[in-house]
Amino acid sequence: MSSCSNDCSSCSSNCSSRREPQDLHFKLHERSKVKKVIGIVSGKGGVGKSMTTSLMAVGMNRAGYKVGIMDADITGPSIPKGFGLHEQLFGTKEGLIVPAMTNRGIDVVSINLLLDTETTPVIWRGPVLGNVIKQFWSETLWQDIDYMFVDMPPGTGDVPLTVFQSIPLDGIIIVASPQELVGMIVGKAVNMAKMMNVPILGLVENMSYLECPDCGRHISVFGESHIDEIGTQYELPVLAKLPIDPKLASACDSGEMEELEQLYIDKIVELLKSQG
């Protein structure tokens, strides 16, 4: 038709050139089962995305759910260290990757568990990185996972785009920090999610404050928080404000994330439970 816009999703005509939308999602292996997939994203690095991912995984595990973590930050993987995982992954006879398991039963797949050493750099171009994401999703034995958390690399490049397009995300959580620049950074992540039609569950602010050990007063080390006004601007709930807590850093460095007493993410756990 001369007036065709080439957008079949908005057209009801049944013409000969009609094309149905293609499903670009990678398929899970027939032996795998994953119920819910939540992506943890940020517009920039260094805001605590992996920390938030780990806390959420521990929280849902404590709530009685079977949890998996896909470390999709291929060039900067840090999830294994937080859980004290160092052994290399192995495969089944069929060639499926078997996830590593933490002390409390969280399944983890990360490129750092496949490299010769933990300090070996990953110097790969986009297509290779995308293929790794496909393997982590389609060629891994994910057994009866209630909640999978995908720790994504920062920004809007090849790997985040591959995850958004190729893995059936049930929602994302955006992690930010208190600096005033955060408005622009969050905006990029929000707009990317909207363009990819992925639901945004809410915002998490990391390094939000330091609690005085003597009087309990909250000290804004990095300046006053802007996360509430940003949440209002984009009509998104603020799900957690994580403090600068030495216990969090120590647990991550020593591989003892599962031993933390205070997780600071009760609201997120309740939200995910209500949607499950």
Q: Is 219 left (phi over 0), alpha (psi -120 to 50) or beta?
A: beta
Q: Average pLDDT in the 10-25 region?
A: 63
Backbone angles phi, psi at 204, to 5 degrees: -125, 130
Task: Give 101-118 pLDDT, tens digit per residue.
Answer: 999 999 999 999 999 888
* d(C-alpha 46, C-alpha 188), whole Å: 16
**Is residue 118 within 8 Å of 110, Cβ to Cβ?**
no
pLDDT band for 32, please (50, 70, 90 cuts): very high
Q: Average pLDDT in the 5-31 region?
A: 68
Mean pLDDT is lowest, of 58-62, 95-99, 175-179, 181-185, for 181-185
**Is residue 114 within 8 Å of 88, Cβ to Cβ?**
yes
Three-state SS letters, 123-176: CCCHHHHHHHHHHHHHCECCCCEEEEEEECCCCCCHHHHHHHHHCCCCEEEEEE
Q: Average pLDDT in the 116-127 region?
A: 85
Mean pLDDT rounded to a whole number for the chain: 90
151 token code pair: 């720790």
* d(C-alpha 128, C-alpha 117), whole Å: 19
Task: Give 53-94 pLDDT, tens digit per residue.
Answer: 999 999 999 999 999 999 999 988 999 999 999 999 999 998
pLDDT given at position 86:
92
pLDDT given at position 85:
96
